[in-house]
Amino acid sequence: MDLQQNKFSEEYFDLIFDRFNAVLTGIGKKLPAVSYVAITSNDPYCVLISTLLSLRTKDDVTLKASERLLKRASTAHDMLGLSEKEIEELIFPVGFYHTKAQRILEISHILVEKYNGIVPDNVENLIALPGVGIKTANLTLNLGYGIDAICVDCHVHQISNRMGWVTTKTPPETEKALQSVMPRRFWIPLNELLVSYGQEICTSVSPKCSMCPMCAECPKIGVDKSR
């Protein structure tokens, strides 16, 4: 395939996804924590809570904290039966665990009072919840409801710019730019793929370009040193 001629076509992104997934499978990379919670729970509330816990927290810590908390309370109604201190103890040592415990209770109150315990299935109502930004909202829509949305975190933002798919300065700009160049069927799995790839291969500092099957074609924009 002539990658330059076919750049941004479905065939191009199929190739990217196939090659990246093959590398991750080869090194035994597991699913990101929130993806695992989504598959095992099949519930938007669990996805929302796990996504909140994942912010500024390592993946293994997020998964263990999510499992401990959601085993005790997997619905908004059940969560209100826990005290803030109990939630803190269950989610520790996630980053900002005290604030996150407060937010989880606040969100659960709103969901029960305003939505009968059901997580909203649209961006506008999700980002109106305390502590919920566009990344958390989109990932909840993706993995909780199967709704097409591009969830951009630091990995998606960095790799998309590094590979020349977009030229943007912020994640919100990247989300908008990707919507115009990426076929819609790739929107949901994009975050899961690039989070894993960014953690293991296309790292923020000194990426492992020698392990990447796209090394020869990648423009490596912004990369000063690689392995």
Convert the pLDDT of each residue in 91-118 to its tens digit. Answer: 999 999 999 999 999 999 999 999 999 9
Taking only the tens place, the pLDDT of each residue in 180-215 is 999 999 999 999 999 999 999 999 999 999 999 999
* 141 and 44 part of one domain: yes
For residues 128 and 106, the answer to whether their CB atoms sit within 8 Å is no
Cβ-proximal residues to 137 (8 Å cutoff; 6+ apart), any chain? 123, 126, 127, 149
47 located within any domain: yes
Q: Which pTM was predicted?
A: 0.88
11 located within any domain: yes
Tell me if residue 153 is catalytic.
yes
Residue range of the domain that includes 66: 33-145
With bands split at pLDDT 50, 70 and 90, how would you rate the model's confidence at 156?
very high
Taking only the tens place, the pLDDT of each residue in 41-89 is 999 999 999 999 999 999 999 999 999 999 999 999 999 999 999 999 9
For residues 98 and 105, the answer to whether their CB atoms sit within 8 Å is no
* 115 and 38 part of one domain: yes
Q: What is the pLDDT of residue 2?
A: 53
Q: How large is the angle between the packed helices 187-200 and 10-26, nearest 10 degrees? A: 40
* 175 and 162 part of one domain: yes
Indicate which residue of 153, 169, 176, 208 is catalytic: 153
How many domains in the chain? 2
* 72 and 158 part of one domain: no
> Between 14 and 2, where is the model more confident?
14
For residues 193 and 17, the answer to whether their CB atoms sit within 8 Å is yes
For residues 82 and 72, the answer to whether their CB atoms sit within 8 Å is yes
222 located within any domain: no
Q: Indicate the average pLDDT of the chain.
A: 95
190 located within any domain: yes
* 65 and 100 part of one domain: yes
Q: What is the pLDDT of residue 30?
A: 87
* 137 and 162 part of one domain: no
* 165 and 130 part of one domain: no
Tell me if residue 225 is catalytic.
no
Indicate which residue of 135, 148, 169, 225 is catalytic: 135
